[in-house]
Amino acid sequence: MSKRNLILSILLVTALAFLQSGCAGTHVGAESSEDYNENPLMAAIPDGVNNKKAMDAAESALIGREWTVASRSDDEITGKLKHRAFDAKVIIKIEDRNLVLYSDAVYIDPQTEKVSSGVPYGWLQHLRDDMQDILAVQAHK
């Protein structure tokens, strides 16, 4: 294989991997919010972090990922985001020293406008990871 063909092959494989990663994490049609919510993602609240600081971490993660904070109480916060054909809502609750991420989302097909079940799983993972990072910092203050 010539050097030019090798470089072209590497570029094509890289482009394919990039395109596939853009779709990774979205569960359209395969999983409804009800199915996801039976075993939702969660972030453990470390010792020394009170509920107010945990809710602050959840709010910071939402805002950092450009979600709109729709409501907040002492033990629950709701975020909303419309992006990439998803109309998503996440409800983050404090349960048993965890921040639990519940999803209420639908996917709207851009070509047909058909609404189907969908969970923006990758987005929820990012929120969880951000919350874990923020909580870890708060635990060491």
Q: Within a domain: residue 3?
A: no
Question: What residues make up the domain containing 123?
Answer: 26-139
Q: Within a domain: residue 11?
A: no
Q: Within a domain: residue 10?
A: no
Domain total of the chain: 1
Q: What is the pLDDT of residue 15?
A: 41
Q: What is the pLDDT of residue 7?
A: 52
- What is the rounded distance in angstroms from the CA atom of residue 50 to the CA atom of residue 54? 6
% of the chain exceeding 90 in pLDDT: 60
Spatial contact of 62 and 127, defined as CB atoms under 8 Å apart: yes
Q: Within a domain: residue 18?
A: no
Average pLDDT, integer, range 114-123: 89
Average pLDDT, integer, range 36-55: 96
Q: Within a domain: residue 117?
A: yes
- Identify the CATH number of the domain in which residue 81 sits: 3.30.310
- What is the rounded distance in angstroms from the CA atom of residue 80 to the CA atom of residue 57? 16
pLDDT-derived band at 109, boundaries 50, 70, 90: confident
Q: What is the largest CA-CA distance in the chain?
A: 63
- Does position 50 have pLDDT exceeding 60, yes or no? yes
Q: Within a domain: residue 131?
A: yes
- Does position 135 have pLDDT exceeding 80, yes or no? yes
- Does position 6 have pLDDT exceeding 50, yes or no? no
Could you give phi then psi for residue 40, rounded to 5 degrees?
Answer: -75, 160
Q: Within a domain: residue 15?
A: no
Q: Within a domain: residue 109?
A: yes
